[in-house]
Structure 1
Amino acid sequence: QRLSLAAVAGLSGFTVHHLVDMPAMMPAIALVGIVLILYLAMMQQPIQLRWKPIQLSQPILIILFWGILLISGWWSSEQYRKYILILSAATRSDGYIAAAQDLQSLIDADPSMAIYQMQQAFLYGMAAVDNPEYTDDAIAAYEKFLQLEPNHAVSWANLAALYKQAGHDAEALTAIERALELAPQAKLFQRNLMVYQSEQGDIVFYEPNTLWVEDYPVGVNFSRFQYLREALGRQYLPQVGAPE
């Protein structure tokens, strides 16, 4: 009975700790373990184990297997720690270019980790705001990231803005249209689409934006933000009861 109580207490502690612990992968690990334990506990016919002599090579292989898992886990954790340090340094010093370049070593070491490539593209994009010579680097980084994560709407919108800055109007229009396919309710994406269309002289109103038209005087380019603010205020302020 004491052994049963100890087992129940251990399982309860295991469950509570892992279901509320961080990082987020811990609940998934916990659920797998809990399901297995509960399944074994509910088995009506216990499995009869037969004793077999353990060969010397078996424990060595087991130790080697767990050693590889621990080393790979430590390596991944160390890579992520470097990633956090790089971003923290960039935040404090606005050193976007240096941070983007520092991330390249992490990308080379773990190219399947898409978040590293997305952050590198974002950092190059931030640098390109004040230093247009980094626009091509930002475009290349976003194109590489979107090959891994083609459904990331914000990155398509950012890539569209970079294309526009580089003078690639057709590519910018294609990219913002892709962003709108993925996030059709994003007002800023809708606004950017109309800006790109109006600057090319071929305006085809995006359907939800027809409500905005009356806020734009005739002949005024859609990139004028003050009219966009008036349109958004007219649409949303009455809904939340805010004073006009």
Structure 2
Amino acid sequence: MGYSLQRTRKLYFLDTPGIHKRQSKLGDYMNQTAFNTLGEVEAVLFLIDAAEGLGGGDRFIAEQLKQVKTPVILVLNKIDRIEPEALLPLIEQYRKLYDFAEIVPISAKMGNNVNRLLEQVQKYLPEGPQYYPDDQITDHPEQFVIAELVREKILHMTREEVPHSIAVMIEDMKVQDNGVVHIMAVIFVERDSQKGIIIGKQGAMLKEVGKQARVDIQNLLGSKIFLELWVKVKKRLA
């Protein structure tokens, strides 16, 4: 994904899978993909949720980062959700874990310090050719981005109840005569219990996932959409 910091400078970001506890072959693959990327980039952004505080997962990732030579920038997001006096002690906790090249507190939602983060990232990037036009912000096709938006809503709403190994596939996407984009997406899980969680009581959870995803997808496409979601169990997603 590209981000134009200035008219003459464009930054390219690689969004890796989230690192999480291994619970399936797909989870192992996603973790390995994320770790393999660390040595292939000029800088690593270690993004954490400041509102959740330091956890065991963060300690695990910090240990893994010690094996790479790439500069690591700690990004503490959601600082708008914590008290100002709690920020410095939190930074000190993370500083003891790893020798970060930079530490930047931000609020992506409010836009606080985002420009400063981009400036810090730029310090570690060599100049190179422009691979994409200025108006191109991602190298992924629309269907991939739409599937990720649906998956994001599921993970956000179910938290630890559903593992990160769920997958979303866009099975059909077409523009109807009235201009509405009809999208049919299938959510794959590994167990019946996970299916029940995502659907929710009387379909309430699945309905809310669709409602929230629909807003982001309409903003992405610039068109009204009809989003149809199905949940299927597929053993051993890997």
Look at both structures and tell me which one has the larger radius of gyration over its CA atoms.
1
Q: TM-score, normalised by structure 1?
A: 0.23
More helix per residue: 1
Q: TM-score, normalised by structure 2?
A: 0.23
The structure, 1 or 2, with the larger RCO (C-alpha pairs under 8 Å, 6+ apart) is 2
